[in-house]
Structure 1
C-alpha cells in the first residue's frame, strides 16, 4: 500500500514538474518590433520585407510565432510602448535607449540588442546668417524628432558644452521644436512656424541640402570625433530571459539583414524606395548607402563617450564604464567602443 502511494506521489510530482517545465519553456506567440523613418533603419526594413525574423524563428522550432511591426515617430514613443508591454524590440536613436537603460536598472533592465547604423547627422539651416551654433538667437527654432531626449538633442548639447562650457549645455534647448524628421524638413523648407533649421538624419538631411539655400551648421561626426552609432535596437532582460529562442532569432535576423545590405547596396536602395512609397530615386538612396561615412553594422561605435557625457550632465544617473554595460552579451564579441 505504501509502495503504491509512493509511486503515485512520484508520478504526480513528475507530471507537475513537466507542466512547470513546459510553461517555463513556452515563448511568446507574437513578437512586436519597432521601426522608424529614415535610411538608418534599413536593416529593419530588410528584416520585414524578407521575413528574416520568421525565417530564424522557424529554424528555432517556432514556426507559428507571429511577427508584427509597428512604426514610431521617435525613440521616446517606442520606449513608452516597450515599458507598457505593447512592444518587444524598440528601435531608435542611442539617446532614448541609454535613458531607458539607466531608468530600468532595478526592474526591466533594458539593454541594447545591437547597433543598426553609424551615420552623420546634420544640423541644417536655410538662414544665411546662421553659420555655426554661435549664430543662433533666442528667436530661432530648430526642428528635431524627440526633442529633449533624442540623439540629436545630445549631439547639440555636446557641441554647446564644447563651445560654452559643460555647465551651459542646455543653452540652446529652448530653441528645439519636437517634430518627426519628415515634418521638420517640410517646416524648414516652407518656413512654417518660423522654423529655418532642422537637426535631422539621412535621407532627410541630404534632401534638405538639395535646396540651394540650405547649408550644414553642425556635423555629428565632428562632435564625436569620428563615426558614431546613430541608431540601435533595445529590449528588456525579461523578454530575453523568457524568450531565448525568439531573442536569438531577432539577433540573427539583424546580422543577416546587415550583411545583405552591405553585399547588395543597389537592391537595398530599391527596397528602401519601395518601402518609402517611391518618393526618392533609387540612385539617390544608393549613393547614401555607398557613402563611406555611412555604415550598417551591429557594432557600437563611440557610444561609451556619448553615454558618459549624458551622465556628466545629469541626463542619466548611472555611468557606464564599458560599452558592454549597455548591451546584451550576444554582441560582446564585437569590437565596440
Structure 2
C-alpha cells in the first residue's frame, strides 16, 4: 500500500513539475523550439510607427527564439499602457515619456530601453475661434489626451514659461479637458474646445478637414525636437530575469526603426493600414506625408532630456516630489 502511494505521489509530482516547466518563460517544446508568449503594446499614433512596422513585418519572429508567439495590444492612453507593463499583461512597447516617468517616480519598477521617435506634437486652434496667438488662450478650453501626459506637459510648459498662463488644474486661466486625439476634429466642429495639443497624425488630419489650424508647430512647442515623443518601455523585472528576451525585443524595435528610415513610403502605407485597422479611420496619404515631416524616427535616447522634462512636470505640479530619474533609462540593450 505504501509503495502504491509512493508511486502515485511521484506521478503527481511529475505532472506538477511538467506544468511548471511549460508555464515558465523560455520553456522549450519537444522539437527544441520556444513556447514563450509575449505581448507588445503601442498607440495608433504616427510616433508609434515602429510598433506598426514590427507587427506588420513580423520582425519579432526574426529576433526572438523560434516558436515564440507574439501578441499585440493597442492602447488609448499612457496610464493604461503603464498599468499593463506593471501587471505583466504586456512585456514591452511604446508609450509617451510622460506616463513612463510619472509611474517610475511613483515607484513603478520600469525601464526605458530605447526611444521611438521625437517631435510630432502640434498645438491646434479651432477654426472660427478668433485665436491668433497663445496669448489669446486666457479663459479658453484646451484638450489633451490625459492629465499629465507628454503632450499636456509640453503645452502647459510652453504656456507657463512663454505666456504666463496656466490651467485651472492649478487655479489658472485655461480650462482643461481630456479626450482621445482621434475625436479632436469633432470636438472642434461642435465647438466644445478651443485649442488642442495634438499628436500626429491627428494634427495633419485636422488641417486637412479644415476644423482647426496650427497655432504652434512642433519645433516651437516645449521640448518639441529634443524630447522623445515615444519611448520603448519594459519592466525592471523582465530586465533582471530575462535580459535575453529584452535584448531580442529591442533588436526587433531597432530593425523596425531602421526600416522606417530606409523605406519611408512603405512605412507610411503600413501606418495608414494599421491606423485604419485600430481606429476605423482611414487617413489620406497627404495627411501622413505632412505628419511625417514633423517627426524623426530614432531609437537613441538621452536620460538628460527626460530629466529636464520631468523637472517641468514637477514645476507644473503634475508630480508631488522633485523627480530623480536615475535608473529609469537603460541603454545597454542598444549597444
Shared fold per TM-score greater than 0.5: yes
Distance 1:88 1:135, change over 3 A: same
Instruction: Give yes or no for the alignment of 1:319 onto 2:318.
Output: no
Q: 1:183-215: CA deviations, max 9, x gaps?
A: 123222x216x2232211111101112244622
Q: List 4+ stretches of structure 1 deviating above 6 A.
A: 165-169
How far 1:318 sits from its partner (Å)? 4.9
Among 36, 43, 67, the alignment partner of 2:43 is: 36
Task: State the partner residue of 1:128.
Answer: 129
CA apart distance, 1:130: 1.8
Compute the displacement of 1:321 (Å).
6.9
Q: Which residue of 1 aligns with 2:250?
A: 251
Determine if contact 1:123/1:218 at 8 Å carries over to the other structure.
yes
Number of equivalenced pairs: 298
Structure 2: 5+ residue stretches without partners: 1-17, 28-35
Asked if structure 1 preserves the Cα contact closer than 8 Å seen for 2:123 and 2:214, the reply is yes
1:238 paired to 2:227: no
Judging changes above 3 Å, is the alpha-carbon distance between structure 1 residues 72 and 26 closer, same or farther for their aligned structure 2 residues? closer
TM-score of the pair, normalised by structure 2: 0.79
Summarize the alignment of residues 1-337 of structure 1 with structure 2, pairs less than 5 Å apart.
Answer: 26-27=25-26, 29-57=36-64, 62-104=65-107, 108-126=108-126, 127-138=128-139, 140-146=140-146, 148-162=147-161, 163-164=163-164, 170=170, 175-188=175-188, 190-191=189-190, 194-212=192-210, 214-222=212-220, 223-224=222-223, 226-277=225-276, 279-289=282-292, 291=293, 293-300=294-301, 302-316=305-319, 317-320=321-324, 325-330=327-332
RMSD between aligned residues: 3.0
Unmatched 5+ residue regions in structure 1?
1-18
Equivalent pair of 2:166/2:173 in contact (CA under 8 Å): no
Shift of 1:125: 1.2
State the Cα distance separating 1:134 from its structure 2 match. 2.8
The Cα shift of 1:128 comes to 3.4
The CA distance in 1 between the partners of 2:298 and 2:323, in whole Å, is 25
